[in-house]
Chains A and B, each alone.
Chain A
């Protein structure tokens, strides 16, 4: 942690960017009026600094993030319509493997699933990104240190079947988790460029290959 080069640069122009990206305050907002957009943007601007490879640009939200940051609104009736739109738009972002092959090497998939590294301000720019999967999911039951933010994926292939349909759906889930659940707590690994195509293929094999320990 101490080795990281740190530049303290005040966030510039973020307030303006945020104001345009943030959902407009309206009657449905769950925030009190004291958390108006202007005060909030000012707080963000003065409250964050660049560190390591991470800059304050990260505070800019895309439409999905802005929508999901207001749960009361997202869960409202008007929200349901918007959620369906988000899911449709998210599904449209999914790039399927160019060579049509979905399954790589489950052994490497296990390594990617184990790793929680990458993209924090203490990670170097050359650090390979992990999938963080075990942080949230049970997968191979040999790994007893697993999180519970997401459901267990043990026996995933056995239960779902290794059909082309399952492969496409699972790929879409990993590439852009919001494609079937607008405000999923799961990161969008392909869409956000967290994982490379080969990493995702290897993870697919971990979940779906009949020889993977996940399905034994």
Chain B
């Protein structure tokens, strides 16, 4: 498992920081940043802990029906986990919906385990129920590590999700007139010192899509893509997106399809 630690990422972080260090205060910040990375990577990517608890949650009988999730169909057939994440979001016949990993997990919890998933949708991030879902995404996405993103837009509903997601990506509203594209629509832009991938292009979508879910060193939290999108909408001054809604899935479809062909590197590790 240790081999999965993206050491290239650490080296890149060190390099970009070193070539920047002109001002003393910045050097301090940089040193702190490096320290945090070192700390985080000492025993491997801390995301591995989430992967392990996610795997446990996957295998443990739970819910009113006291059944595990092991028979869950993530798109490649019941119980097939390896490589499934690389092909999500996708159309599912049984729900007649396009689903991302998180919305699909809710379906399996409901149908297999008899769980009332409304509670999971409503739960705040960083509370027990959401953390369970995030751990599951860490485990399942980890089982696609190294696989190529292969998201289909062939089914009419997949095509529709992509087009709706694209339209959403450019939808400006609210007091600041922001859309996703305000921050992620041009190359080489930053907010403060945080790099903003241009998600409208393959290279940027790749950076944004293939490395989530990710462990965030700054907050010590593991974030899923749904959480990432939720926090970007917050910064966008929009109302809060409903967890695992068609809207969030459509945005993921837009990003994932733009990243097609790139290699999944999950779970990621971030600032």
Contact = CB atoms under 8 A, between A and B. Distances in A.
Contacts of B166: 31, 35
B65 interface: no
Interface string A4-43: 0010100100000000000000000001111100011001
Most buried by B among A60, A144, A185, A193: A185
A43 B188 contact: no
B238 A54 contact: yes
B181 interface: yes
A91 interface: no
B191 A135 contact: yes
A59 interface: yes
Contact of A54 (B159, B170, B186, B237): B237
Given A54-B239, A54-B240, A119-B237, A35 B167 contact: yes
Most buried by B among A31, A59, A69, A187: A69
Most buried by A among B164, B177, B247, B248: B177
B9 interface: no
Nearest to B238: A58
Contacts of A43: 164, 168, 246-247, 250
B55 interface: no
Interface stretch (A99-107, A146-154, A160-168): A146-154
Interface residues of A, number: 53
A47 B192 contact: no
A128 interface: no
A64 B124 CA distance: 34
B240 A49 contact: yes
- Counting chain B residues whose Cβ lies within 8 A of the other chain, the interface size class is 35 or more
A97 interface: no
A144 B160 contact: no
A8 B207 CA distance: 32
Contacts of A61: 171-173
B181 A48 contact: no
A127 interface: no
A56 B126 contact: no
Interface in A185-205: 185, 187-188, 192-194
B23 interface: yes
Given A47-B247, A121-B234, A192-B176, A34 B156 contact: yes
Q: Is the interface of B mostly helix, strand, loop or mixed?
A: mixed
Contact of A69 (B171, B196, B234): B171
B189 A148 contact: yes
B247 A48 contact: yes
A55 interface: yes
Contacts of B234: 120-122
A5 to B, nearest CB: 12
Contacts of B26: 144
Contacts of A59: 173-174, 238-239
Nearest to B250: A43
Contacts of A149: 182-183, 186, 189-191, 196
A44 B247 contact: yes
14 contacts: A8-B122, A34-B156, A43-B164, A48-B239, A48-B240, A48-B247, A51-B240, A56-B239, A61-B171, A70-B170, A71-B170, A145-B192, A147-B192, A149-B189
Interface of A: 1-2, 6, 8, 11, 31-35, 39-40, 43-44, 46-51, 54-56, 58-61, 64-65, 68-71, 119-122, 132, 134-136, 144-149, 185, 187-188, 192-194
Given A39-B160, A43-B246, A135-B192, 9 more contacts: A8-B122, A31-B163, A47-B241, A47-B245, A49-B240, A56-B239, A119-B237, A120-B237, A148-B189
